[in-house]
Structure 1
Amino acid sequence: MAWRGGEQPDELLTPETRIALAAALRQAGDPEGAARACAAGLDAARALEMPRLIADALEQQAFLDEARAVTLHLEALRLRADATTGSRIMGACDRAREELGYPRPHRPSVPAAPEGRRMDLEEAIAFTRRAYGGRRRPATGWAGLTPAEQEVVRLAVAGLSNPEIAGRLFMSRSTVKTHLAHVYAKLGVANRAELAALQRERDR
């Protein structure tokens, strides 16, 4: 419209464009303009219920607001993690629907991730339980393990390495190490050998 000599109403800007504009203005040394563009992009993303773009807008706000930077970054990270989890579950649901002969009647708002389609129904259920399992549990003992920690224990006792567990459970290697450290502390063991022995004793 500028090329044709016309006006450029803000209503024509998509949320992506507003957020990109905010980043450009911030880098160009115009924090006030960046803040306005970012706020408009955030409002538009929220109105359209687009978690990924909401996270992008919050990230830009974090760069502009030092006092709330950590809080804003953490919220952006949470939204991205939720979106990734939902996308994987959606992919698994699509596969299960196809295998059961129940095609999806409409296009979902959450895109289906390809890695989700690689999970069979049992794996998808376990993944969902790990992601959305309850938080109230004892601090120690087998009952204190989270769903994710239980899955890590099962695979570790089966002889899988940390990289193999990470690939199977869609986790990073550092996350697997963290889960194992929590498991060791909750069960009072020092290593995989003691963990395996405790598991065998429990299975008797």
Structure 2
Amino acid sequence: MNALRVLILTAAALLGSSALAATYTVKPGDTLYNIAQKANLDPAQLLQLNNLSSSTLQVGQKLNLGGNSSSSVNVGNIPATPVSRNSGNGNTIRAAASRYLNIRYMLGGTGAGGIDCSGFTRVVLQQLGVSLPRTARAQYGVGNTVSRGNLQSGDLVFFNTLGRGVSHVGVYLGNGQFANANSYNGRTVIEAMTTSYWATRYIGARRVL
């Protein structure tokens, strides 16, 4: 009888410990952002849980999803393709961009004391677990190309403002709006891409989430 009780207690302990150690195996097409969203975590939390220094993931890599309510998520059904960010997730991206609004524009700046366009997109996307290169031209080379008609919140949008290729970048927020560090306004702002100035200078977009 005692042996049976020990067996039951051991089994219960094992079940309890497995519930506290939810994991997910990275599949082709996964991103840190869409895994975090499905597991009810912030991308920054997922980075911290796994001691990751960047958002780069490897197929087959096992991620710790922590021991909170996210452990009840059916992680085996997380889709391999990025989740849509047109509705609820758009609010997350707008909130990330809003933390850096009204900061004065400063060429070469990367923080609260002053920031330029690529510095702005870099710190905004960093909150979502994405590491970007420093310059607008370099950022244009990451992620996947996306057409203007298929833009989603979080996409990087690029412009030719100097007449010699990519020279400006912002973060698309949805509904034709994007956030950017604007040298003309002298600060970080939210603007409409449909204005004649931006519409005629638009080059393309890249999806990094």
Based on CA coordinates, which of the two structures has the bigger radius of gyration?
Answer: 1
Q: Which has the higher contact order (CA 8 A, sep 6+)?
A: 2
**Which structure features the higher share of strand residues?**
2
TM-score past 0.5 threshold: no
Which TM bucket (shorter chain)? under 0.3
